[in-house]
Structure 1
Amino acid sequence: MAAHHHHDSHGPELAQAAQATLEGAGEQWTAMRASVFDALAQFDKPASAYDIAEAVSKAEGRRVAANSVYRILDLFVGANLARRVESRNAYIANSHPGCLHDCIFLVCDKCGDTTHLDDDKLARAIRGAASETGFTPERPVIEVRGKCAACD
């Protein structure tokens, strides 16, 4: 397997990397965006916009609408700060926002645990297969559903 190697950031280092990446894309790192990212990064499993809105609401002491969170999450996905787990309609913080690549998610149907893998060889093969049909792949989404080792 041709794995993609990089440094995974956590905690304040991850927030700083996310801020630098977003600002590098020409966007502002507002207090609300920082709050949404911090809440997203706290989850150990993919979180819905409603989960994130609730966490931000508690932290801010005021109600934050899920619609506002969705808009910010869309921005984060576009800027590579977050990844959307399509089958769960949920999001995870990208632990290496400055690194662009296609992701593969292993999603446990029993406990919801989601593992993120990078495999450049597989990603190139999928993009190549799509291109051979005349299709221009922009954002391959690869999810493998099953049971994690803890649930098996």
Structure 2
Amino acid sequence: MAHDHSHSHANCGRDVEALKAKARDALIAAGEQWTAMREAVFVELARYDSPVSAYQIADDLSQTRGKRVAPNSVYRILDVFVAKNLTVKIESANAFLANSHPGEEHDCVFLVCDTCGTASHVDSETVGQNLRDIASSQNFRADRPILEIRGKCSDCR
């Protein structure tokens, strides 16, 4: 039986340390290294409650560390995080969110507010399977269906 449930990506109430530990464990289990820089990028990302760009993360880390952190380095780390399901990418905004359940694969429907920039996602096996079926009917294998819905959140309506 398919299940649908919503996960807010607001960090209010989020235990960043517990999320970091889950992300570290998932990355190591996937055969990758958890370096100090990867940790710093993940922690910075987890502080945000809306999608954030690699440039913003690089700027924040540069200020925190007192030396310049190159956006290219942050992008490379975020690419690893996306590939290993520690982070999700909002393609239309070229921005990232910390995955609230690192390392778990799931199909996401993102609800992105064009006014305030917040994003939440709904894990929907039903929608994900429908998208896979559409792809399959075109002789295309969908590895990771992601659907983004742009509009206005309840606070901005």
TM class by shorter-chain length?
A: over 0.9
Q: Is the 8 A contact 1:101 1:118 kept in 2?
A: yes
RMSD (Å), alpha carbons? 1.7
SS in 2 for 1:107: strand
Distance 2:75 2:138 in 1: 33
Give the CA deviation at 1:4.
5.0
Tell whether the 8 Å contact from 1:10 to 1:95 is kept in structure 2 after alignment.
no
Pair 1:82 & 2:83 matched? no
Specify every segment of 5 or more residues in structure 1 that has no aligned partner in the other structure, as ranges.
none
- Alignment of 1:106 with 2:107, yes or no, is no
Alignment-mate amino acid for residue 69 of structure 2:
V
Between Structure 1 and Structure 2, how many residues are aligned? 151
Closer/same/farther in 2, CA of residues 125 and 90 from structure 1, 3 Å limit:
same
1:20 aligns to 2:25 (yes or no): yes
Deviations for 1:54-96, whole angstroms, at most 9, x for unmatched residues?
1111222211000000000000000100001011000000010
1:23 alignment partner, SS class: helix
Q: Which amino acid in structure 2 is aligned with residue 18 of structure 1?
A: A
Matching residue within 46, 50, 66 for 2:51: 46
Cα offset, 1:98, TM superposition: 2.9
- The counterpart of 1:35, out of the listed 36, 40, 55, is 40
More strand by share: 2
Over the matched positions of the two proteins, sequence identity in percent amounts to 50
Gap runs ≥5 in structure 2: none
Residue 10 (structure 1) shift: 3.0
Please say if residues 36 and 72 of structure 1, whose CA atoms lie closer than 8 Å, have aligned partners that are also in contact: yes
CA contact (8 A) 2:53 2:95 kept: yes
Residue-by-residue CA offset, 1:22-66 (whole Å, 9 max, x unaligned): 000100000000000000001111000000001111222211000
Q: Which whole-Å CA distance do the structure 2 matches of 1:46 and 1:38 have between them? A: 14
Contact 2:84 2:103 in 1 (8 A): no
Alpha-carbon distance between aligned partners in 2 of 1:4 and 1:129, rounded to the nearest angstrom: 22
Residue equivalent to 2:60 = 55
Identify which of 113, 122, 133 aligns with 1:117. 122
Q: In the aligned structure 1, how far is the partner of 2:39 from the partner of 2:15?
A: 14
| In structure 1, distance between residues paired with 2:155 and 2:56 | 24
